[in-house]
Amino acid sequence: MSEAPTALPPVKRRNAELVMTLVAIGITLFAMIEAGLTRNGEMPPSLFVYGILFGGLSVLAHFFIRFFAPWSDPLLLPLATLLNGLGLAMLWRLFEATGDTSGGSAMTQLILTAASMVVFAVIVYFLKEPRTLQRYPYIMAISAVLLLLLPLIPGLGMTINGARQWVNLGFTSLQPSEFAKIALVIFLAGYMVTKRDVLSLASKEVKIGPVKVLDLPRARDMAPMAVMWGFCIIVLVILMNDLGTSLLLFSTFLAMIYVATQRSSWIIIGLTAFFGACTALYPFVPHFRVRMITWLDAFRPDVYCTDEFLNDPESFCQTLGNSQQLVQGLFALAQGGLTGAGMGGGKPGNVPEVQNDFIFSAFGEELGLAGVMVMLMALALLAERGMRIALASKELFIKMFASGISFLLAFQTFVVIGGVTRVIPMTGATIPFVAKGGSALLSSWIMLALLMRMSNNARKPAPQAIQDEGATQVIQR
């Protein structure tokens, strides 16, 4: 199965990649220097370590790509380096620069970055043909489900900030949903490529009078949608309170079924079922309600918890939850304004738990609108380059796979930053490459490795016949 690809010019631009990567490393180190000078009046004492480890590994990654995936998109690595570096610099500013590393540290993040880059290299090196993953859709499906269910096992699972999405491994904790989503994309790509015809063709027309309104899929073809829906709603929303992952997985599912079938009826059915379930559950799932109220009425005094309600044990914020984090995040963004306070010049600590989802508000405060626009554009570019890879690939599985991962990156960004900036309710997710935490970082680099490999294969010029005599050809590989 294949389809005419949208050709990309067969250029490597590896030197451009090196220069851009060096710029990204430079931005990271300058951000740390500025934070150190502003906060403590001295250069970061460990700047050298960061320069060598982070800078050195990024450059090594570049040379690795130069040898093992020479045709891959030259923008991917610099964008990832920039985002990862900004995240590192901000964590250094939040923890090391303030002398308080109880909530996390940039050094841990640096080590995790290094480990993630190694995994990145391993995948790029060994997974020469990502289409081989197509062979194991059901293994992928089962592992995705197992990974998602892991936190529910008593003793192993942990609840952090209300969401049961962590697994305690003793020495460290993992967020298995970060990996489950990749497995799910692989499964969906494989499954939908095989079931594509049935999903897109078999249908029932819904007519009002003579006018065709919708092509409805047959009830029996709804099974995958029903399973996905049931899983997202029952397990993720009700049992685990993990709205972010639920929203992310279901949207990715819808995006991929749309890519496979090109039928908008799937999206309509899916959205109706999802939001219908949310509406129906609204009165019964309290944490769901709390999130809606803290979003819509964030500035209500009893939701925000002003002094007058702080001492009232009956008030909304004392019984259910408050909107302090969201509102303080908005204040931080407002404080940053257009140009920001400069690294180290703001007070991001005013936002509770700023090192997690709300790290975006710290960027907004210290780098300003200009800085977060750069960050958003880098993320957008990353997702769009991924879509470009999907367009340029020949095989359907790779098209599905690449577009699925790209959409995952884009939507994950939307869910978390949209939550922080009050576009949608806060659900809890991580900004790709930027967020603190090993699971998030590792899964981001795995996705990058997959995109890198697929882009290399898509952009590599077609094999040339080196001789043209008779039926047998020797192909240059």
Partner 1 sequence: MNKPIRRLAVFSMALFGVLLLNITWIQGFQADALREHEFNSRQFVESLTQARGAILVGSEEIAFSEPVGGDSDQYQREYENGQLYAPVTGAFRAGSATGIEKAENSLLDGSDDRLAVSNFLDTITGKEKKGANVELTVNAEAQQAAMDGFNELGQNGAAVALDPSTGAVLASYSNPTYDPNDVASVTETSEAAENWTSLEGSEQQPLLNRGLNERYPPGSTFKIVTASAALEDGHTPESTQEAPASLDLGAPMFNASRQPCNGGSPDTLAHSIEISCNTSMANWAIDLGAEKMTEQADAYGFNQGSFDIPLPVTESLYPSESDNNILGRSGIGQGNVEATPLQMAMVAAGVANDGDVMKPYLVESVKDSDLSEIKSASPEVFSTAVSAKTAEDLTQMMILVTEGAEGSGLGGAIDGMQVAGKTGTAETSSGPTHNWFISFAPADDPQVAVAVVVEHGGGSGGTLAAPIAKRIMEAVINE
> Which residue, 50 or 304, has its beta carbon nearer to partner 1?
304
Q: Which is nearer to partner 1, 150 or 420 (CB)?
A: 420
Nearer to partner 1, 18 or 133 (CB): 133
Out of 15, 159, 168, 306, name the contact with partner 1 by CB under 8 A. Answer: 306
* Dist. CA 214–CA 400, nearest whole Å: 24
Cβ proximity to partner 1: between 107 and 396 the closer is 396
Residue 373 is a binding residue for partner 1 (CB under 8 A): yes
Q: Which stretch binds partner 1 (CB under 8 A): 22-30, 87-95, 142-150, 332-340?
A: 332-340
190 binds partner 1 (CB under 8 A): no
**Residue 108 vs 203, nearer CB to partner 1:** 203
Tell me how far, at minimum, the Cβ of 38 lies from partner 1, in Å.
15
In the chain, the N- to C-terminal Cα span, in Å, equals 21
- Residue with Cβ nearer partner 1 (240 or 243): 243
The answer to whether 271 contacts partner 1 (rule: CB under 8 A) is no
The one among 145, 235, 421, 460 contacting partner 1 by CB under 8 A: 421
Distance CA(119)–CA(477), nearest Å, equals 26
* Sign, Cα dihedral of 405, 410, 413, 418: negative
How many residues does this entry show for the chain?
477
Name which of 222, 223, 245 is nearest 233 in CA terms: 245
141/158 Cα distance (integer angstroms):
23
Q: Say which amino acid occupies 81.
A: T
Tokens 């494989």, residue located: 190
Rounded CA separation 373/209 (Å): 50
| Residues 222-261, mask of contacts with partner 1 (x by CB under 8 A) | ---------------------------------x--xxx-
* Closest residue by Cα to residue 408 from 182, 192, 231: 182
Other Cβ atoms less than 10 A from the Cβ of 347: the count is: 15
Closer CB to partner 1, 229 or 407, in the complex = 407
Q: Does residue 407 bind partner 1 (CB under 8 A)?
A: yes
Closest contact distance (angstroms) between CB of 388 and partner 1 is 8
* Distance between CA atoms of residues 432 and 86, nearest Å: 12
Cα separation of 200 and 202, whole Å? 6
In the complex, minimum distance from the CB of residue 391 to partner 1, in angstroms, rounded to a whole number: 6
Should residue 338 be labelled a site residue for partner 1 when binding is judged by CB under 8 A?
A: yes
Nearer to partner 1, 183 or 351 (CB): 351
User: Is position 383 an interface residue for partner 1 (rule: CB under 8 A)?
Assistant: yes
262 near partner 1, judged by CB under 8 A: yes
Cα torsion 442, 455, 188, 221 to 10°: value is 160
- Answer whether 218's CB lies under 8 Å from 367's CB: no
- Which one-letter DSSP state was computed for residue 446? H
Beta partners for residue 204, in sequence order? 216
Please state, in angstroms and rounded to a whole number, the distance separating the CA atoms of residues 176 and 186.
16
Give the angle subtended at the CA of 33 by the CAs of 114 and 349, to the nearest 5°. 85
Q: Is 331 in the site for partner 1 (CB under 8 A)?
A: yes
Q: Is 379 in the site for partner 1 (CB under 8 A)?
A: yes
Q: How far is the CB of 36 from partner 1 (least distance, A)?
A: 20
429 is an interface residue for partner 1 by CB under 8 A:
no
Q: Of the candidates 12, 164, 287, 347, which one interacts with partner 1 according to CB under 8 A?
A: 347
- DSSP of 30-53: HHHHHHHHHHHSS--TTHHHHIII
* Kind plus residue range of the DSSP H or E element containing 432: none
User: Segment contacting partner 1 (CB under 8 A): 126-134, 157-165, 179-187, 392-400?
Assistant: 392-400
Alpha carbon distance 366, 434 (integer Å): 15
Q: How far is the CB of 299 from partner 1 (least distance, A)?
A: 7
Q: How far is the CB of 405 from partner 1 (least distance, A)?
A: 12
Residues that bind partner 1 (CB under 8 A): 3, 6, 255, 258-260, 262, 299, 304, 306, 327, 330-331, 333-338, 347, 350, 364, 368-369, 372-373, 376-377, 379-380, 383-384, 387-388, 390-391, 396, 399-400, 403, 406-407, 410-411, 413-414, 417-418, 421-423
